[in-house]
Amino acid sequence: MISRKTILFGFIVLSLTGLIIYSQTVPEKKTVYQENFENCNFEGELLECKDGALYLDTTNSAQTGEGIWSKNVSVSPGKISWNWNGQDLDKFSLWLKVTFSDHKSIYYVAAGSMNPQSEGEYYRDQENRRRFSPSVVISGIPMNTVERDLVEDYEKYCGPAENIKIEKMSAGFGDNSTQHQNILRISDLKIYGQ
């Protein structure tokens, strides 16, 4: 007769073996784009890049301002992750925008933030006709580490995600409060392959 201790030991050994095999067969996320915010291209006097982060810091409560960082890229959509946070938040704006090769774009807007002012973009099609592509705004994204599936979001809000690429990444910061010193920050921006 097999004792309970032997059965329990066998179960533990099988569980550990299963975990080891699973961890070796599940592929790691492959980073296809990573932004370190070292050489920043932005509009706005109050934006700064420092220690791998992009941030807006209104140094005193009477100072307000805004800024936009943007970078042209060419990567296939996959999962995207970033970290954002803030302090003394009041009348602020914090968003991340992903623009695709078909002129469609998705804004991810931080919880408590005002929505961006953009409603979309005008562009010229292949026959030089003026077209309008509205932007999708996803509001209420928690202020901490965020992970989203770009393909899933695109298909849910924009249509089939066939033959599209990410062409541009943008981040917007704004402080409209004269009673609080708003500190807004984004870091660890990465896109992973499918």
Residues 6+ apart with CB under 8 A from 58: 46, 64, 65, 175, 181, 182, 183
The answer to whether position 58 is within a domain reads yes
22-26, 103-107, 125-129, 150-154: range with lowest mean pLDDT: 22-26
Q: What is the pLDDT of residue 190?
A: 95
Which tens digits make up the pLDDT trace of 111-135? 999 988 777 778 787 788 887 777 8
The answer to whether position 137 is within a domain reads yes
| Mean pLDDT to the nearest integer, 138-155 | 95
CATH number of the domain encompassing residue 151: 2.60.120.180
Q: What is the pLDDT of residue 13?
A: 64
The answer to whether position 114 is within a domain reads yes
Q: Are 141 and 111 in contact (CB under 8 A)?
A: yes
Q: What are phi and psi of 111, to 5 degrees?
A: -60, 130
- Structurally, how many domains does the chain consist of? 1
33-47, 82-96, 107-121: range with lowest mean pLDDT: 33-47
The answer to whether position 111 is within a domain reads yes
The answer to whether position 132 is within a domain reads yes
Q: Are 71 and 35 in contact (CB under 8 A)?
A: yes
The answer to whether position 149 is within a domain reads yes
The answer to whether position 17 is within a domain reads no
The answer to whether position 142 is within a domain reads yes
Q: How far apart are CA 80 and CA 98, in angstroms?
A: 10
**Residue 85 belongs to what domain range?**
29-192
With bands split at pLDDT 50, 70 and 90, how would you rate the model's confidence at 149? very high
Residues 6+ apart with CB under 8 A from 80: 98, 147, 148, 149, 150, 189, 190, 191, 192
Q: How far apart are CA 84 and CA 182, in angstroms?
A: 13
> DSSP 3-state assignment of 145?
strand
pTM (2 d.p.): 0.79
* pLDDT for residue 26 is more than 50: no
Rounded mean pLDDT of the chain? Answer: 84
